[in-house]
Amino acid sequence: METKLIDYTKFSLKPAEEIHEIVDRVENIFILSCAKCYQLFEREAGEDYFTLLGLLGEDTKKIAGHAQIDFLCNNILSEKAISSLDLSGCSAVGVISCGLGIQFVAHLLEGKPVYAMADSVPQSANSTSGIGYHGISLEQEKCAACGQCYLNATGGICPMIDCAKGLLNGPCGGARDGKCEVDPSLDCAWVKIYERIGNRGEQLTLGDTRIHDYSKPALQLKNDLSTLNNKLRNEGFYGGLHPLEEKQQTEHLAIEKFPEPEEVVIFLSQHTGKKASPMVQPGDYVRVGQKIAGADGFISASIHSSVSGKVVSIEERIHPVLQRRELAVVIENDRENSLDSHCKPNSDFKKLSVKSLLDIVRESGIVGLGGAMFPTQVKLAPPKKVDTLLVNGCECEPFLNGDNRIMIERPQDIIIGIGLLKKILGVNRTIIGVENNKADAITSFKGVLKNSAVELLRLNTKYPQGAEKMLIKKILGREVPSGGLPFDVGVIVSNVGTILAVYDAVVQGIPLYKRVITVSGEDMSRPGNYLVKIGTPLKEIIQYCFDGDIEDIFTKYDLKMGGPMMGIIQTSLDSSVIKGTSGLTLLKRSPVQLSEDNDCIKCGRCVDVCPMELHPHYYAFYGKKAELGRADDYNVMDCIECRSCEYICSAKLPLMSFIKREKEYARSTVKN
């Protein structure tokens, strides 16, 4: 389809005389140029700087240096970028950007002469209001943001924008053949309005006499809201966003035991690191809690049966996270729930040594239940000394309530679990972070925390606050270095579910073979927070929770394991629940799908939301050109894959696909 898009370039280099006037005045000058926004992202380097060089001729010797900055007006990131430049030697700074960037730099470098090297370019074509704002697109429609919308009286055509005189009560007499007297290439707005109303079978009545209120919107309101927004968005950690929380569907539903599955499909890879080695064969009889696969190597975990019954096979099934065929132990459930003899409570758990505790954790197959599935016994023995344990009660994904419910229903057990981790790690400080959309959980903890050294912090909800690096930044103000891990800044972060699993293992003697998952989403007939056995096939869960046509699950919907943000789209109901499954979320497929063929329009939203302060639009830029390896220049390995960029992308580019491809490439390439 041929679409006419508009290049909304915000600035162009000042005329040559003005440029010379500036450069003649200074001894030397450092040039900062903005890479521009709201145009098709077709080249990396802006042309303005080269045009400037051409203009200056031999005066280019006065240029002390140059830096191109993406979205110069993004004050938080630009400040960091500019601070890293050495401007001490230059007597002046020249800025090639729109008015926003120039004002920002002048403010930042107060005391140093800062010169505008560019003029802003008017956007609106409306000479009365002078201003017209485009949307998050390169389409031609603009809005005057006048705070008193007339569109309901004009059939959806804006008289402020489309009428050169901004007339509100019908046309002037100047139109000729339906074209505007000011610019004959434009239609007369009122003729368009008349026709649009006619098309709807309505009569244009022109209604009451309209007189514009120029006191709206108040200048002060605009400035106040802007300052507030700028502050709030960077609270705690940079960026992030607020998708609709959708917690109300299951937040009040108590944890319910999911009906016994007919069989369980237990994957050998349910953790970071090498997959476990099977210790059983088809035909073997196993009990609940019996070890059926052993950890292979240092970073690995053991796996236990979640039912009692006969091992049917060890076969390949579609792994829910890896989305490829992987080996799984299939066990038929005899529904007896015969418990393995090793599973015995420890009444004197308080006397256990750190080493014993770590052995239990290892033997119990506990991994990070927040989703990363990192073997907990390794995490709790960090190579560096740590001083703080952060307990992650954020559950920042929409829809999910598993962690919420365990905090409401088992706070005491969690506190004991925290005590165990505190002992293992030898930390002084333990802090629980809970987002403020979980009022009940906070109340529940407060009830058991009297006289406890454990601190409880209520955090303003923002996705992805539950990601460890974000949580550390928010609570402690510490930044994990690029390529580093939390222990590099003296912290260990652990999910509440994991801590509860440690309690269950140490105090109740139960290894990890079941967990709470939230089944929810759109059109889910029986949503809930279910305690399910590891290995429960997705088919059984869907049959129990969804009354619709099962065929639709993979056609009309996306079934995600996890939440809508980071959840993995499932492709087979033969997959099953693994240790890292936080939930199953059913989402209606949008009429608009992501596509690599779409064009990035440099709207800057991805840069605004990336909590790791990256520039995701470059991943799209190189990804679309299939130039692997360039994204590493933009720190793609720091990406935590929270999917904020893809969620907010106005061009609907599949940023996660580009990122994952880049990371795979980087990992597979040997670097010297």
Partner 1 sequence: MLVVQLKTEDELRLKIADNKVFIIECLGCQDVYFPNKEVDEYIRSLEKQVIARVRLDYLCNRDYASAYIKAYDKQIQKAQIVLVISCGVGMQVISSLLDHKIVYTCCDTLYLNGFQGLSAQPFDCYQCGECYLNYTGGVCPLTNCPKELINGPCGGARDGKCEVNPDADCAWAVIYERLYKLNKLDIVKKILKPRDHSRIISQSLSRERIKR
Partner 2 sequence: MSFSEKLREKNFIVTAEVGPPKGVNINRILDEAELLKGKVDAFNVTDLQSSVMRLGSLAVSHLLQERGMEAIFQMTCRDRNRLSLQSDLLNAYVLGIRNVLALTGDHPSLGDHPNAKSVFDLDSVSLLQVASNLMDGRDMNGNELDGKPDFCLGAVVNPGADPYELQLLKMQKKIDCGAKFIQTQAIFDLEKFGEFMNQAQRFGVPILGGIIILKSAGMAKFMNENIAGISVPEKYIERMIQIAREDRPKVAVEIANELVEGMKTLCQGVHIMALGWERYVPDLLEASALI
d(CA 422, CA 24): 66
| SS3 (DSSP) at 160 | helix
H helices of 126-218, in order, are 159-162, 189-199
Q: Which one of the spans 108-116, 323-331, 354-362, 624-632 is the region binding partner 1 (CB under 8 A)?
A: 108-116
148 binds, among partner 2, partner 1, none (CB under 5 to 8 A by kind): partner 1
The phi, psi pair for 364, rounded to 5°, reads: -90, 0
Q: Binding to partner 1 by residue 205, rule CB under 8 A?
A: no
Q: Confirm if 190 and 198 have CB atoms less than 8 A apart.
A: no
Largest CA distance in the chain: 95
Between 227 and 571, name the residue whose CB sits nearer to partner 1: 227
From 599, 632, 638, 641, residue interacting with partner 1 (rule: CB under 8 A) = 599
Q: Binding to partner 1 by residue 227, rule CB under 8 A?
A: yes
Per the DSSP assignment, residues forming a β-bridge with 495 are 392
Q: Binding to partner 1 by residue 40, rule CB under 8 A?
A: yes
> How is residue 590 annotated by DSSP?
P
Q: Which one of the spans 196-204, 390-398, 427-435, 478-486 is the region binding partner 1 (CB under 8 A)?
A: 196-204
From 29, 32, 33, 38, residue interacting with partner 1 (rule: CB under 8 A) = 38
Burial of 35 (0-12, 13-18, 19+ CB in 10 A): buried
Per-residue contact flags (x/-) with partner 1 for residues 50 to 89, judged by CB under 8 A: ---------------------x-xxxx-------------
Q: Binding to partner 1 by residue 248, rule CB under 8 A?
A: no
The least CB distance from residue 223 to partner 2, in Å, is 23
Q: Binding to partner 1 by residue 148, rule CB under 8 A?
A: yes
Q: Which one of the spans 58-66, 141-149, 167-175, 479-487 is the region binding partner 2 (CB under 8 A)?
A: 167-175
Q: Binding to partner 1 by residue 436, rule CB under 8 A?
A: no
d(CA 298, CA 24): 66
DSSP string over 222-249:
HHHHHHHHHHHHTSSSS--B------TT
Between 76 and 218, name the residue whose CB sits nearer to partner 2: 218
Helix axes 411-425, 354-363, angle to 10 degrees: 120
Between 227 and 460, name the residue whose CB sits nearer to partner 1: 227
Of 500, 492, 508, residue with least CA distance to 415? 500
d(CA 664, CA 672): 17
d(CA 442, CA 545): 29
Q: Confirm if 311 and 331 have CB atoms less than 8 A apart.
A: yes
The footprint of partner 2 on residues 70-129 (CB under 8 A) is 127-128
Q: Which one of the spans 145-153, 478-486, 578-586, 623-631 is the region binding partner 1 (CB under 8 A)?
A: 145-153
d(CA 160, CA 597): 35
Q: Which one of the spans 195-203, 361-369, 572-580, 622-630 is the region binding partner 1 (CB under 8 A)?
A: 195-203
Q: Binding to partner 1 by residue 439, rule CB under 8 A?
A: no
From 23, 31, 96, 114, residue interacting with partner 1 (rule: CB under 8 A) = 114
Count the site residues for partner 2 by CB under 8 A. Answer: 30
**Residues found near partner 2 in the complex (CB under 8 A):** 127-128, 164-178, 181-182, 190-191, 194, 204-206, 209-212, 214
